[in-house]
C-alpha cells in the first residue's frame, strides 16, 4: 500500500511539512506531527487494531480518546515495552514501534479466535461455574490456567529504565479539561487575577473544538482555542499542563494528576522523567472534562469499521484521516448528524443515515439528500457484517419492519453522551439521572468543585461557554478575586433531541456491550436470569466495566439493558461506583523517586564513611544503616568475624559506633520530676555527673523502652533510648508534658543527631581513651567510676562527653563528640588503640556480648513483657507514682507463672540454639497447650565456646537447672536445653567496675 492512502488531501491540525516514520506489527508506515498512533493507522488504511480479550474477535479503533476499549497496543520494545497502551492517546513520534496484542500467531490470522466458536462456554460467570471443584485444583491448576489466558498485553519483565517523579502544585482555581468550557473558565478566572492551573489529557488544548467544525466569535473553534491558550500562556499566574490527566479527586480540594512528560518521545529527554505524578491542591476546581459518546448495542457492533460518530469526526476534521470511504451513520440524536455535514466536505461518501427517531427535521432530510444518502427514519441498524479486513455491510431494520442491507465500509454510531462525572464521585458522590438528555450527571459535587459544560450535561457549545464563564468567575470570586463582567462570545448553535436507544431488538449476531471485556447483551440477560441483578453484582458476574477502560463507553448501556430486563427505571437501577484513577496510572508514577535503594530514606552514622572504607558489612536497623561486622581478609563467614570481634573486646579493646541510640535533652526545674513519672525508678535523686539505668512502662504496665539517663546539671538531664524507640519515646515524653502535666516547667528536644557516640569497651578501654582526652581530664577509676559522666575535650580541642557505662560487661566508656567530628574521632580511637590490638565491632558482636551479659533488648522488650518478667522488679519504685504502675499490678501481670527472662544452654554443648524455638516439658507433646514460652535471642558465645540463649519461660528464674525442650518445628529443631541465669559472663560484674 502506498503511504497514507486514507489521508485527506487537505485540512486537519497536522504538520504536513514533516513526515514521521513508525512501525505497527513491524510494518513501516508514516504519519505527521499532530497525529496520534490511531489517526496515523487510519491514515495508513489500517482497520484492524487488535483482538478482543475472550473471543479474540478482530477489533478496530472505536474512539478518538482515552475511553478507547479496543485499540490497545504494546508500545515500544525491550525494557520500555508498555502493554495495553491506547493507540488513541499515543502521540506519534518518529521511530515509534507498536505491536498489536492478544493474538497468535498474527493479528490478521489469530488461531485463538476459535474461542469465538466456543463462545457458548465463555458466558457470564464462566469462571465461577467452571473452576469450582475440586478445591485442591484452585491454586495448582485453575489459577495458573486462568492467569495464562487472562490479560491482553505482555509486560516487559525488565526493570523500567526510565524515571518517574512526584510533584506538588497549588492554585486558586484548578480547571480540569481544556475544551470550550474549561478554556472559558480558565480565561475568566485568570483575567480576575486568580492563580489558575489548567490541565488537559490531550497534547493540544481545545477539546472537541479541535474535532468539530464549530465557530466562536467568528473564528473556527480550533483558532479560538489556540488564541485562548496563547492568552493564558502569557499570564504568569497560570500554569498550563498539557498531556496531564486529573485522575482522582481527594479530600480538601486535593487532586491527583498524571503528567506524561516524555511519553510522546522515543525516550525522555536527559534528566527528565517519563511521567510526573502531581498532587494539586486547589482552593476551587472547575470540572470541564466533557462527555464520552456512547454506543448502541446491536449485532456486530464491535466489527472493525464501526466507530463512534464523534470519533469519526475527530479523524476527519482534526487528523484529516478517513476511516471509511462509504459510510453509514446510525444516530439517535441531532449531534450524530454533524457527521453527515462534515463528510460532505471530504471524499467520504455517506451512503445512509439511520435514525431511530420516527421523523427528523427537514434540515436533516435536506442534508441527507445533499449527501446523496439514503435516510431511514425510524430505522435501526440490527446487524453489521464484516471481517478482520473491515466492514462489508449493515442490515437496516426499517420503520416498516423490513430488513435492508446497505453496503458500506464504515459505520458511525451515536447513542448519546455520558458526561464525565467520575471526579464528582470519588469522594462518595452519586450521579443523578436526567431524563431530558438520558444521561447521568453529577449529583452533589464535593466542596469546592463545580461542573461545567458537557460534563454537567450542557452539551451544546453555547452552554459550555456560558458555564465556563460563570463558573470560572464564581471560582475566582470564591478565592478572593473580582471577576470583570464579560460576555459569552457568539458561538455555533447545537441541538441534541435524543431519543434513547440502548439496544437494538432483533439483532441476529453477537451484540457487544463491553468491548474490552467481551461482555454481550446476552451475558447481561443471563446474569439477570441467574439473579445477579444489582449493578454491582452485574459488574462482577459479567466483568462489565472491569477492564482497563472501566467501561466508559459501555456501562450506561449495560445498566439500561438490565433496567429493561428487570422492569425498573435506569435511575432505580443505578450505577456502579466510580473510583480513582479515571484512567490507568503506572505504579512507577506512584513510586516516583522512591524505588530500589531510594524506596525509603537511609540514615547514615557519623562513622559510616570510615566503616565503609574498612569493608564493613552493613545491616538495616530501622532507617539506619549500621556496621554489622568488619570482616578481615580471609574471613569468609560472619561467625568467624563476630567471634573474633567479641574475643578482642573481652581480652583487649574494641570500638563500636552507637550514635543511633536516641538522645533526648531534658532541661528545666521539673526535669527530674518528669523522669520520675515516666521511669519506674527514681531520677530526681540522681547526683550530677552520674548516670542511671532506667526502664519505662506503657500505660498498660508493659515495658516500653529502657536506657541510661545522665544528670548533667541540676536542671539538665540527657536521656538515651533504644535505636528503635527513639522517636516513640520522644513522642511519649511530649505527650506526657503537653497533655498530662502541662504544669511542669520542663523543656525537651531530641539531640540524637547532634552527637557521634562511640562505645570503647574492653580491659584496655581506659588505656586507649587516656591517650585521647585532653588535659586536665582524669579518667581513672577513682575520678570517673562506673556510671559516671564528665565533659572533656578530646583529641586536642574537640568538645566531648565521656560516659562510663557498659553494655558489653567490660570496662567500657561511651565517648560523645559533635557529629562532624565523628569520622575523625573514630579514626583517632582506632589509632590510639592500635597498640592494644583494638578492633572495630559491629552490631552483631554488640548483640553477642549483651546476650552473654543477659541484657534484655528489642527481642525481649517485645510488647508483652513486664518489668518483672525482664528481671527489673526491684527497680519498680514503691515510693512514687509513675506511668504504668497501677496497671502493672494487675493479677495477670503479677502471676508468678508468667514467662520470665532466663538463660538457656544446650545440654549437648555442640547443639545450635535457634531464636523462636518454643519451650516444652521434656516428655510433653508438641502442642500449643504445652507451650511454656520461647527463645528470644541466641548467640554463639566465644567466651563459653557454645551457643547460649535468652528466653521468656514460665516461672523463669525459679527454674534454673531444669531441663526443657527447645522445639523449633520451622527449622526442624528439637533439642534439650538447661535453664540458667541469663548472665553468662562475669555474673558478679567485676570487670565493668575495674
Which spans of this chain sit near other proteins (rule: CB under 8 A)? Answer: 163, 165-170, 195, 269-272, 279, 281, 593-594, 598, 600-606, 609, 624, 665, 667-669, 743-745, 747-756, 795-799, 818-825, 827-828
Least gap, CB of 371 to other proteins (angstroms): 52
Least gap, CB of 594 to other proteins (angstroms): 7
Q: What angle do CA 118, 120, 123 make, to 5 degrees?
A: 115
User: Pick from 241, 220, 293, 226: which is nearest to 461 by CA?
Assistant: 220
Identify which of residues 406 and 656 has a Cβ nearer to other proteins in the complex.
Answer: 656
Identify which of residues 272 and 894 has a Cβ nearer to other proteins in the complex.
Answer: 272
User: Pick from 249, 240, 256, 255: which is nearest to 203 by CA?
Assistant: 240
Identify which of residues 44 and 607 has a Cβ nearer to other proteins in the complex.
Answer: 607
Least gap, CB of 166 to other proteins (angstroms): 7
Rounded to 5 degrees, what are φ and ψ at 129? -85, -30
Identify which of residues 763 and 818 has a Cβ nearer to other proteins in the complex.
Answer: 818
Identify which of residues 500 and 824 has a Cβ nearer to other proteins in the complex.
Answer: 824
Query: Do 846 and 656 form a contact (C-beta atoms < 8 A)?
Result: yes
Which residues, at least 6 apart from 250, have a Cβ–Cβ distance to it below 8 Å? 256, 426, 427, 580
Helix (H, G, I), strand (E, B) or coil at 278: strand
Identify which of residues 218 and 615 has a Cβ nearer to other proteins in the complex.
Answer: 615
Q: What is the Cα–Cα distance from 533 to 859, expressed in whole angstroms?
A: 54
Q: What angle do CA 25, 31, 35 make, to 5 degrees?
A: 105
Q: What is the Cα–Cα distance from 683 to 673, expressed in whole angstroms?
A: 8
Q: What cell numbers appear for 316 in the block?
A: 476527519
Helix (H, G, I), strand (E, B) or coil at 859: coil
Q: What is the Cα–Cα distance from 869 to 859, expressed in whole angstroms?
A: 13
Q: What is the Cα–Cα distance from 485 to 725, expressed in whole angstroms?
A: 60
Task: Please name the helix (run of DSSP H) or strand (run of DSSP E) that holds residue 678, with its range, or none.
Answer: helix 671-678
Least gap, CB of 147 to other proteins (angstroms): 34
Q: What is the Cα–Cα distance from 831 to 827, expressed in whole angstroms?
A: 6
Least gap, CB of 675 to other proteins (angstroms): 15
Identify which of residues 750 and 936 has a Cβ nearer to other proteins in the complex.
Answer: 750
Identify which of residues 157 and 271 has a Cβ nearer to other proteins in the complex.
Answer: 271
Least gap, CB of 11 to other proteins (angstroms): 37
User: Pick from 261, 16, 83: which is nearest to 162 by CA?
Assistant: 261
Identify which of residues 368 and 666 has a Cβ nearer to other proteins in the complex.
Answer: 666
Which residues, at least 6 apart from 864, have a Cβ–Cβ distance to it below 8 Å? 702
Task: Please name the helix (run of DSSP H) or strand (run of DSSP E) that holds residue 405, with its range, or none.
Answer: strand 403-407
Identify which of residues 317 and 725 has a Cβ nearer to other proteins in the complex.
Answer: 725
Identify which of residues 138 and 741 has a Cβ nearer to other proteins in the complex.
Answer: 741
Please state the three-class secondary structure of 4-56 as a single string. CCCECCCCCCCCCCCCEEEEECCEEEEECCCCEHHHHHHHCCCCCCEECCCCC
Going by the DSSP 8-state scheme, the letter that residue 351 receives in this structure is: E
Least gap, CB of 598 to other proteins (angstroms): 6
Least gap, CB of 60 to other proteins (angstroms): 39
Least gap, CB of 828 to other proteins (angstroms): 6
> Exposure of 858 by Cβ count < 10 A (0-12 exposed, 13-18 middle, 19+ buried)?
middle
Q: What cell numbers appear for 687 in the block?
A: 547526683
> Exposure of 426 by Cβ count < 10 A (0-12 exposed, 13-18 middle, 19+ buried)?
buried
What pairing do the DSSP bridges indicate for beta strands 654-657 and 703-713? unpaired
Identify which of residues 663 and 914 has a Cβ nearer to other proteins in the complex.
Answer: 663
Least gap, CB of 618 to other proteins (angstroms): 13
Identify which of residues 279 and 959 has a Cβ nearer to other proteins in the complex.
Answer: 279
Least gap, CB of 836 to other proteins (angstroms): 17
Task: Please name the helix (run of DSSP H) or strand (run of DSSP E) that holds residue 596, with its range, or none.
Answer: none
Least gap, CB of 279 to other proteins (angstroms): 7
Least gap, CB of 798 to other proteins (angstroms): 6
Least gap, CB of 245 to other proteins (angstroms): 19
Largest CA distance in the chain: 116
For 423-504, where are the E strands, in sequence order? 432-434, 439-441, 449-451
Query: Do 988 and 943 form a contact (C-beta atoms < 8 A)?
Result: no
Q: What cell numbers appear for 916 in the block?
A: 523462636
Identify which of residues 166 and 647 has a Cβ nearer to other proteins in the complex.
Answer: 166
Identify which of residues 658 and 825 has a Cβ nearer to other proteins in the complex.
Answer: 825
Q: What is the Cα–Cα distance from 985 to 994, expressed in whole angstroms?
A: 15
Rounded to 5 degrees, what are φ and ψ at 969? -60, -25
Query: Do 956 and 901 form a contact (C-beta atoms < 8 A)?
Result: yes
Least gap, CB of 477 to other proteins (angstroms): 17
Identify which of residues 384 and 828 has a Cβ nearer to other proteins in the complex.
Answer: 828
Identify which of residues 27 and 820 has a Cβ nearer to other proteins in the complex.
Answer: 820
Least gap, CB of 709 to other proteins (angstroms): 15
Signed CA dihedral, 548, 553, 557, 559: sign only:
positive
- The answer, yes or no, to whether the previous bond of 329 is cis (omega within 30 of 0) is no
Q: What is the Cα–Cα distance from 797 to 780, expressed in whole angstroms?
A: 20
Least gap, CB of 821 to other proteins (angstroms): 6
Least gap, CB of 824 to other proteins (angstroms): 2
Identify which of residues 717 and 882 has a Cβ nearer to other proteins in the complex.
Answer: 717
Q: What is the Cα–Cα distance from 421 to 889, expressed in whole angstroms?
A: 59
Amino acid at each position: 500500500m502506498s503511504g497514507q492512502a486514507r489521508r485527506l488531501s487537505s485540512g486537519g491540525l497536522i504538520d504536513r511539512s514533516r513526515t514521521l516514520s513508525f512501525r505497527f506489527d513491524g510494518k513501516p508506515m508514516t504519519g505527521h506531527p499532530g497525529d496520534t498512533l490511531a489517526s496515523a493507522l487510519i491514515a495508513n488504511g489500517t482497520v484492524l487494531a487488535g483482538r478482543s480479550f475472550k473471543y479474540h474477535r478482530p477489533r478496530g479503533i472505536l474512539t478518538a480518546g482515552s475511553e478507547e476499549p479496543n485499540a490497545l497496543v504494546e508500545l515500544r520494545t525491550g525494557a520500555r515495552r508498555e502493554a495495553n497502551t491506547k493507540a488513541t492517546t499515543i502521540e506519534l513520534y518518529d521511530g515509534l514501534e507498536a505491536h498489536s496484542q492478544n493474538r497468535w500467531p498474527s493479528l490478521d490470522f489469530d488461531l485463538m479466535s476459535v474461542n469465538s466458536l466456543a463462545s457458548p462456554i465463555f458466558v457470564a460467570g464462566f469462571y465461577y461455574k467452571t473452576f469450582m471443584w475440586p478445591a485442591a485444583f484452585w491454586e495448582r491448576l485453575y489459577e495458573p490456567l486462568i492467569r495464562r489466558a487472562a490479560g491482553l498485553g505482555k509486560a516487559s519483565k525488565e526493570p523500567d529504565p526510565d524515571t518517574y517523579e512526584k510533584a506538588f502544585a497549588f492554585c486558586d482555581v484548578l480547571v480540569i479539561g481544556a475544551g470550550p468550557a474549561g478554556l472559558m473558565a480558565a480565561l475568566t478566572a485568570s483575567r480576575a487575577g486568580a492563580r489558575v492551573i489548567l490541565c488537559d489529557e490531550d497534547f493540544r488544548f481545545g477539546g472537541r473544538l479541535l474535532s468539530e467544525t464549530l465557530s466562536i466569535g467568528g473564528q473556527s473553534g480550533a483558532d479560538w482555542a489556540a488564541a485562548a491558550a496563547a492568552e493564558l500562556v502569557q499570564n504568569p499566574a497560570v500554569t498550563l499542563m498539557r498531556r496531564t490527566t486529573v485522575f482522582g479527586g481527594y479530600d480538601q480540594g486535593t487532586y491527583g494528576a498524571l503528567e506524561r512528560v516524555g511519553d510522546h518521545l522515543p525516550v525522555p529527554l536527559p534528566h527528565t522523567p517519563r511521567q510526573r505524578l502531581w498532587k494539586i491542591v486547589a482552593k476551587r476546581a472547575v470540572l470541564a472534562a466533557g462527555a464520552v459518546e456512547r454506543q448502541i448495542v446491536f449485532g456486530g457492533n464491535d466489527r472493525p469499521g464501526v466507530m463512534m460518530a464523534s470519533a469519526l469526526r475527530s479523524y476527519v476534521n482534526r487528523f484529516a484521516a478517513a476511516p471509511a470511504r462509504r459510510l453509514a451513520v446510525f444516530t439517535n440524536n441531532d449531534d450524530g448528524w454533524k457527521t453527515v455535514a462534515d463528510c460532505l466536505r471530504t471524499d467520504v461518501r455517506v451512503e445512509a443515515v439511520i435514525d431511530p427517531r420516527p421523523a427528523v427535521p427537514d434540515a436533516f432530510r435536506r442534508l441527507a439528500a445533499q449527501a446523496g444518502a439514503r435516510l431511514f427514519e425510524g430505522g435501526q441498524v440490527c446487524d453489521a457484517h464484516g471481517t478482520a479486513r473491515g466492514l462489508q455491510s449493515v442490515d437496516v431494520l426499517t420503520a416498516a419492519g423490513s430488513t435492508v442491507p446497505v453496503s458500506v465500509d464504515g459505520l458511525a454510531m451515536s447513542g448519546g453522551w455520558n458526561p464525565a462525572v467520575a471526579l464528582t464521585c470519588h469522594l462518595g458522590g452519586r450521579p443523578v439521572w436526567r431524563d431530558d438528555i438520558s444521561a447521568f450527571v453529577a449529583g452533589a459535587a464535593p466542596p469546592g468543585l463545580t461542573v461545567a459544560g458537557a460534563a454537567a450535561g450542557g452539551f451544546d457549545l453555547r452552554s459550555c461557554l456560558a458555564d465556563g464563564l460563570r463558573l470560572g468567575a464564581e471560582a475566582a470570586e470564591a478565592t478572593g478575586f473580582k471577576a470583570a463582567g464579560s460576555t459569552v462570545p457568539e458561538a455555533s448553535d447545537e441541538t441534541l433531541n435524543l431519543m434513547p436507544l440502548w439496544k437494538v431488538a432483533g439483532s441476529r449476531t453477537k451484540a457487544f456491550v463491553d468491548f474490552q471485556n467481551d461482555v454481550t447483551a446476552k451475558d447481561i440477560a443471563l446474569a439477570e436470569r441467574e439473579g445477579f441483578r444489582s449493578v454491582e453484582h452485574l459488574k462482577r458476574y459479567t466483568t462489565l466495566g472491569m477492564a482497563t477502560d472501566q467501561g466508559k463507553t459501555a456501562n450506561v448501556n449495560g445498566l439500561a439493558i438490565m433496567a429493561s430486563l428487570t422492569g425498573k427505571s435506569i435511575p432505580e437501577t443505578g450505577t456502579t461506583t466510580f473510583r480513582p484513577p479515571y484512567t490507568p496510572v503506572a505504579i512507577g508514577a506512584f513510586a516516583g523517586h522512591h524505588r530500589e535503594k531510594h524506596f525509603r530514606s537511609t540514615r547514615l552514622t557519623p562513622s559510616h564513611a570510615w566503616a565503609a572504607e574498612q569493608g564493613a558489612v552493613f545491616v538495616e536497623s530501622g532507617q539506619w544503616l549500621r556496621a554489622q561486622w568488619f570482616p578481615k581478609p580471609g574471613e569468609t563467614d560472619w561467625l568467624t568475624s563476630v567471634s573474633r570481634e567479641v574475643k578482642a573486646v573481652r581480652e583487649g579493646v574494641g570500638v563500636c559506633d552507637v550514635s543511633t541510640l536516641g538522645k533526648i535533652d531534658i532541661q528545666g526545674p521539673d526535669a527530674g520530676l518528669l523522669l520520675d513519672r515516666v521511669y519506674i525508678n527514681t531520677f530526681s535523686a540522681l547526683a550530677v555527673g552520674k548516670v542511671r539505668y532506667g526502664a519505662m512502662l506503657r500505660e498498660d504496665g508493659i515495658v516500653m523502652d529502657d536506657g541510661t539517663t545522665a544528670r548533667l546539671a541540676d536542671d539538665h538531664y540527657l536521656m538515651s533510648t533504644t535505636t528503635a524507640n527513639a522517636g516513640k519515646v520522644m513522642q511519649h515524653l511530649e505527650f506526657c508534658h503537653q497533655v498530662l502535666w502541662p504544669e511542669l516547667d520542663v523543656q525537651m528536644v531530641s539531640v540524637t543527631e547532634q552527637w557521634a557516640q562511640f562505645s570503647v569497651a574492653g580491659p584496655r578501654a581506659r588505656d586507649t581513651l587516656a591517650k585521647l582526652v585532653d588535659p586536665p581530664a582524669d579518667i581513672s577509676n577513682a575520678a570517673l567510676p562506673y556510671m559516671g559522666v564528665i565533659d572533656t575535650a578530646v583529641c586536642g580541642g574537640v568538645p566531648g562527653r565521656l560516659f562510663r557505662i557498659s553494655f558489653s560487661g567490660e570496662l567500657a566508656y561511651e565517648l560523645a563528640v559533635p557529629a562532624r567530628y565523628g569520622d575523625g574521632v573514630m579514626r583517632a580511637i582506632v589509632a590510639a588503640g592500635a597498640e592494644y590490638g583494638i578492633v572495630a565491632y559491629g552490631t552483631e558482636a554488640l548483640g553477642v556480648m549483651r546476650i552473654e551479659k543477659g541484657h534484655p533488648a528489642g527481642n525481649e522488650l517485645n510488647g508483652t513483657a513486664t518489668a518483672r518478667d525482664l528481671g527489673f522488679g526491684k527497680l519498680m519504685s514503691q515510693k512514687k507514682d509513675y506511668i504504668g504502675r497501677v496497671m502493672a499490678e494487675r493479677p495477670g501481670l503479677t502471676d508468678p507463672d508468667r514467662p520470665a527472662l532466663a538463660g538457656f544452654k544446650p545440654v549437648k554443648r555442640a547443639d545450635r540454639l535457634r531464636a523462636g524455638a518454643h519451650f516444652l516439658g521434656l516428655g510433653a507433646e508438641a502442642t500449643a497447650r504445652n507451650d511454656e514460652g520461647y527463645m528470644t535471642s541466641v548467640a554463639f558465645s566465644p567466651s563459653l565456646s557454645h551457643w547460649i540463649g535468652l528466653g521468656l519461660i514460665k516461672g523463669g528464674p525459679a527454674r534454673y537447672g531444669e531441663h526443657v525442650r527447645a522445639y523449633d518445628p520451622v527449622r526442624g529443631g528439637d533439642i534439650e536445653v538447661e535453664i540458667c541465669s541469663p548472665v553468662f559472663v562475669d555474673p558478679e560484674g567485676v570487670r565493668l567496675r575495674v
